[in-house]
Amino acid sequence: MNFIKSWGYMRILRLIIGVIAIVQAIITADIIIGLMGIIIGGMAFFNTGCCSTSGCDVNYKKDTKQIKDVEYEEVVTGK
């Protein structure tokens, strides 16, 4: 059931666009539109996009270092 829960707005939108393209390809007997509909529908069905699932995510590494107190030294120039 995890497959059903992971559907977001963009995934549903891709599926709708893919189905519309496939229906349009059947009506007009256009192979190119049919292939595009299959590709877009397949992207929605298998939850893939650019470079596979979560392929465009930014690698985020949380910085766990503690901030150390910095000591400053005043430099005075005499004239």
What is the model's pLDDT at position 20? 95
pLDDT tens per residue, range 25-45:
999 999 999 999 999 888 888
Residue 14 scores a pLDDT above 60 = yes
> What is the residue-wise DSSP string for 5-62?
HT--HHHHHHHHHHHHHHHHHHHHT-HHHHHHHHHHHHHHHTT--TTSTTTTPPP---
Q: What is the pLDDT of residue 77?
A: 84
Query: 44, 18 in Cβ contact below 8 A?
Result: yes
What's the pLDDT at 3? 62
22 token code pair: 């496939």
The pLDDT of residue 35:
94
Distance CA 39, CA 19 (A): 10
Share of the chain above pLDDT 90, in %: 29
pTM, two decimals, is 0.58
